[in-house]
Amino acid sequence: MSEQTTEQKIPKGSYAAGRRVSLPEDAEQPIAVFVNGVAQVEGTDYLLRGNEILFTRDIIKETKSGKKKLVMLLGVVGFYNKNETVDVQYQKDGKTELAGDLPVSK
């Protein structure tokens, strides 16, 4: 499969964090990948390359400025920017493990 890229609109208050996520150490097949709890399809949504997941599109994260954090902490106003999380289910030593909200890189 050739790498495909998908143009996407990035909402105000969010940014394209990247397309790469490292698998947890010693992760074994089978591996299931989720973005915001939605199962992703290998070969369509992502590729596995060694110990790395390479998505076909950018993962979007919320920009959190100091002012926004303070307002959220005080509970004055809610913010609803796009903030995607990547979770991975995998095998390790014969047990099923789950790693949540993994860091995304370019």
- pLDDT tens column, 66-76: 555 555 556 65
Main-chain phi, psi angles of 66, to 5 degrees: -60, -40
Domain that holds residue 36: 14-92
Within-domain flag for 2:
no
Tally of structural domains, the chain: 1
Within-domain flag for 73:
yes
Distance in angstroms (rounded) separating the CA atoms of residues 4 and 64: 30
Question: What's this model's pTM, rounded to 2 decimal places?
Answer: 0.80
Helix (H) or strand (E) holding 70: helix 66-74
Q: In this structure, what is the dihedral angle of CA atoms 69, 60, 55, 3, given to the nearest 10 degrees?
A: -150
22-77: per-residue pLDDT in tens? 999 999 999 999 999 999 999 999 999 999 999 999 999 988 765 555 555 566 55
